[in-house]
Amino acid sequence: EPEVTQTPSHQVTQMGQEVILRCVPISNHLYFYWYRQILGQKVEFLVSFYNNEISEKSEIFDDQFSVERPDGSNFTLKIRSTKLEDSAMYFCASSEGLLAGETDTQYFGPGTRLTVL
C-alpha cells in the first residue's frame, strides 16, 4: 500500500542552524502539507502546497520556514535558523483532492523528530 515517507526520522541540531526535512508524498496525490506536534501537545497545521505553490499557511509558518518541491517526488520543509521552540515532531501529509467523490483524506508520514539544542 502506498505511504508517505519522511527522512530523517530524528534530527538533532544546534540553535541557529538550518535544517531540511524531507518527505516523499504518495505518488498520485496532489496536495501536500506540513504539520508539527510539540511534545505532549496537539497537532498544528503549518502549510499546505498545491501546484508548486503554497495554498495556505498558519501564523507559525513565518519567514524562517520555507517549502519546496524540488523534483517530481520530494517535498521539503526548510527551517532557516532553528530556535529552541522549533523542537517538535514534524509530520508531512498528502491527499489526492476532491475529485470524483474522493474524501481528500490526508495520509501522514511517520514524522521527523527535530531536537534543537
Partner 1 sequence: AQKITQTQPGMFVQEKEAVTLDCTYDTSDQSYGLFWYKQPSSGEMIFLIYQGSYDEQNATEGRYSLNFQKARKSANLVISASQLGDSAMYFCAMREGQWLTGGGNKLTFGTGTQLKVEL
Task: Return the residue of 7, 11, 44, 60 that touches partner 1, per CB under 8 A.
Answer: 44
Report, in this order, helix, strand and coil percent for the chain, each rounded to 5.
5, 50, 50
Nearer to partner 1, 18 or 56 (CB): 56
Cell of 46: 503549518
Nearer to partner 1, 17 or 115 (CB): 115
Q: If we measure between CA atoms, which residue out of 16, 20, 48, 5 comes closest to residue 116? A: 16
**CA dist list (Å): 55 to 35, 45, 67:** 14, 12, 11
Q: What mask, x for binding partner 1 by CB under 8 A, covers residues 59 to 88?
A: ------------------------------
Question: Using CB under 8 A, which of the segments 17-25, 34-42, 64-72, 79-87 binds partner 1?
Answer: 34-42
CB 31 within 8 A of CB 94: yes
Cell of 72: 517530481
Contact call for residue 113 and partner 1 (CB under 8 A): yes
Binding site for partner 1 (CB under 8 A): 30-31, 33, 35, 41-45, 48, 50, 55-56, 58, 89, 91, 93, 95-99, 102-111, 113
